[in-house]
A and B are shown apart, each in its own frame.
Chain A
Amino acid sequence: MTKRTVEELKEFATDLRKKVVTMLYEAGSGHPGGSLSAADYVTACYFSEINVDPKNPKWEDRDRFVLSKGHSCPVLYAALATRGFFDEEILHTLRKEGSILQGHPNMECPGIDIPTGSLGQGLACAVGMAIGLKYDKKSSRVFAVLGDGECQEGEIWEAAATANKYKLDNLIIFVDNNNLQIDGTIDEIMPLGNLVAKFEAFGFQTYEIDGNDMEQILLTFDNIRKTAKNGKPKCIIGHTIKGKGVSFMENVCDWHGVAPKKEQWEQALKDLGEGI
């Protein structure tokens, strides 16, 4: 992967955010909040850290990416298109009949390694991938992105225990810790307590960072690479802002699952700055 500067990556993140709001505006439905909070991490993955080949999406030696919080797929679709997995024009077809860009991702879309959308299930699949890759002696890694609300699902913890038992040091979880779900804040609906301590107790090597800070994300990736083969699965708790980058969406629960209308979309693009 080409080495990119933090500044360049930040520009990519802004570009993805713009694409996300435009896609959602055009689709008339979908999930802006969680797409925007995860945009920096997804950017760092697709434009710096993970090893994939857009021309050969099923390449056996690729790193795997599992968006366990599947509703945030607009940002993943934007990243995949920008990397050249498919034509950027296709982004205009999100959620439309016949599109490869389904409301929640499936494997007809190049670059999608497993379907997600029903929360809590992606991590177990990522664990299976990590076991399979290890068995085949591949150095590929598995990147799983989870919602904090999603961590209320029991299956997440069943999968975490499995990752520990099988010493999956090739598994990297990112928890998009934006403290919001649908019905309210995580603390109101179902407090998660200390997620860092929880994942540590499950045997993970954990990192707690600002998940919207590109520098911190890259630094964490560097650190993870240094301890790559220590037999421990990795977990990054990334504190993020839901709706990040769009003033009126930031930290507003109701922007979880509604698309911007025309004026809101225009305002969103303004918020994200001109350029690019």
Chain B
Amino acid sequence: MEKKATRIGFSEELAILGAENEKIFVIDADLGKSCKSDKFGATYPEREINVGIAEQNAAGVAAGLATCGKIPFVVTYAIFAALRMGEMVRQEIAYPRLNVKIIGSHGGMSPARDGASHQAVEDMGVMRTIPNMTVIMPADYWSARKLTRAITEFDGPVFIRFTRDSIPIIYDDSVEFEIGKAHIAREGEDVAIIANGDTVHIALEAADKLATEGISAKVLDMHTIKPLDVEAVQDCIENIGKIITVEDHNIINGLGSAVCEVVAEMGKGKVKRFGIQDRFGESASYERLIEKNGITVGAIVQAAKQMIATDLVEVI
């Protein structure tokens, strides 16, 4: 299967958007080469502001530009975007609901060898907790492109997270994505797997494996964790009753938590969460880090079979 990092999809679409829309600005913080916004910068140098290694400043500059009717994209690693700029994002971007796009590249375990300091396990949770924020993680190159376009057309603050490492391309140019609307990647009846970002392809593989064992799994690509597609989750509970969530993020306060909030209020159904096990990352290969946190096709398949076999609610 062909692979590409989602930051590449972002980079290419942003360069195209730059030609179409003169309001777009990029605020880099010395990670333009790394996050691939340098492509935009090379073509539209007058609309690339590189503030240097100063993320807090980058957030403020973006807020100011947004008040002038521009559409600033602040670009850095997910961990710095969510936590270093966190309060600036809250006070100066989310609170006044300014039209700033916060680009968190190198999300989850994807800055693998760099270790814990660079791996973002809490970013989507932090951003999800801030009022007015929209929080997104695309699952492949194509959805990264489509969603980069979608957030540009959307008016309001957005945090969008990309991967450093290459991940399988699962869609093609014909698939459309809407902010806040789950994408049904696979229809199924026995169990629903709700995943996002770099784990969607793992969910699809698990569904393939389950199919060989006569189990039909629905796979939802929940690229937007806020606003969550509540109806899609409710539908899974009403019609299937069993949900497995998968994410490259702490199991606390990410996709799994968001899904559980809906399920708990419904008062029925079962959920099993897969994600980073509330611990810091470490230096290792990306694949190993995902596997070490129990995010594997085998474990998902087993969990699905167990959920189908019993009525016990499993909580990690």
Binding site for B on A (CB under 8 A): 27-30, 70, 95-99, 101-104, 106, 115-120, 149-150, 152-154, 181-183, 186, 189-190, 257
Contacts and interface: CB of A to CB of B under 8 A. Distances in A.
Contacts, number: 92
B291 to A, nearest CB: 11
B interface bracket (residues with beta carbon within 8 Å of A): 20 to 34
A104 B30 contact: no
B53 A95 contact: no
Given A102-B115, A103-B113, A103-B118, A120 B53 contact: yes
B54 interface: yes
Nearest to B79: A118
Contacts of B52: 149, 152, 181, 186, 189-190
Contacts of B57: 154
B284 A117 contact: no
B283 interface: yes
19 contacts: A30-B113, A95-B283, A97-B284, A101-B283, A103-B113, A103-B114, A103-B118, A103-B283, A104-B115, A106-B116, A117-B115, A118-B80, A118-B118, A149-B30, A152-B54, A182-B30, A183-B30, A183-B32, A183-B50
A85 to B, nearest CB: 19
B268 interface: no
A109 to B, nearest CB: 11
B34 interface: yes
Contacts of A181: 30, 52-53
Contact of A70 (B56, B84, B117, B285): B117
A167 B155 CA distance: 49
B67 to A, nearest CB: 21
A119 B51 CA distance: 14
A153 B50 CA distance: 13
B117 A115 contact: yes
Nearest to A259: B113
B114 A154 contact: no
